[in-house]
Amino acid sequence: MSTEIERKFLIADLPDLSAAQRAVVRQGYLTAPDDSTELRLRQKNDTYFLTLKGRGGIVRVEREVEITAEQFETFWPETEGRRVEKERYTGGLPDGRIFELDVFLGELAPLYLIEVEFASESEAFEYKPPAWFGADVTEDNRYKNKMMAINGLPS
């Protein structure tokens, strides 16, 4: 079973992103708001994915397959009212870990979130984020992309 082990933080101080890779992302959710499992369509630049994510916080099931643009467009209309648009910056941290910093667009602007993945749950719990990271929102469901796509910016 594929699992994702990550923590998610708000941004206290936006870093210099000039060395990070930038991708334009649009994603939409095919599952109902009350489903515990997420089924998501994602376009990342010119690549398309179908992703299943299970319930969870720091650790959860994640399965992803690349799909064609035609397959994406076939199902995209079904995500109406459950979509997120953002720019994703991927870069390295001084400790060697990789970050993904999302700059949300549209109704979710000016939200910034950063995610860091880990090899183990204990590594995730022991992690000490840099000073420019803000509050840890890993366990706050309001900051899950699916919930923001449905409910908007957390208050």
Q: How many domains does the chain have?
A: 1
**What is the pLDDT at residue 89?**
98
**What is the pLDDT at residue 36?**
82
Please state the rounded mean pLDDT for residues 121-128: 96
Please state the rounded mean pLDDT for residues 20-35: 92
pLDDT of 107 higher than 60: yes
Query: Strands 98-104 and 47-53, how do they pair?
Result: unpaired
**What is the pLDDT at residue 2?**
87
Please state the rounded mean pLDDT for residues 107-122: 96
Task: Please provide the average confidence, as pLDDT, over all residues in the chain.
Answer: 94
pLDDT digits (tens, 9 = 90+) for 68-87: 999 999 999 999 999 999 99
The DSSP element (H or E) to which 123 belongs, if any, is: helix 121-126
Do 90 and 21 meet the contact criterion of CB atoms below 8 Å apart? yes
Please state the rounded mean pLDDT for residues 104-112: 96
The CATH number linked to 115 is 2.40.320.10
Domain range for 103 is 3-151
**What is the pLDDT at residue 70?**
98
Q: Provide the CA 68 distance to its chain's centre, in angstroms.
A: 21
Q: Which two tokens stand for residue 37?
A: 């499992």
**What is the pLDDT at residue 1?**
55
pLDDT of 134 higher than 80: yes
Residue in 150, 134, 124 with CA at minimum distance from that of residue 101: 134
Q: pLDDT category, 55, cuts 50, 70, 90?
A: confident
Q: Cα(134)–Cα(15) distance, rounded to whole angstroms?
A: 12
Do 151 and 84 meet the contact criterion of CB atoms below 8 Å apart? no
Q: Give me the active site residues, please.
A: 29
Q: Is 106 helix (H, G, I), strand (E, B) or coil?
A: helix
DSSP assignments along 64-88, one per residue: EEEE-HHHHHHHGGGGTTSEEEEEE
Residue in 108, 75, 103 with CA at minimum distance from that of residue 89: 103
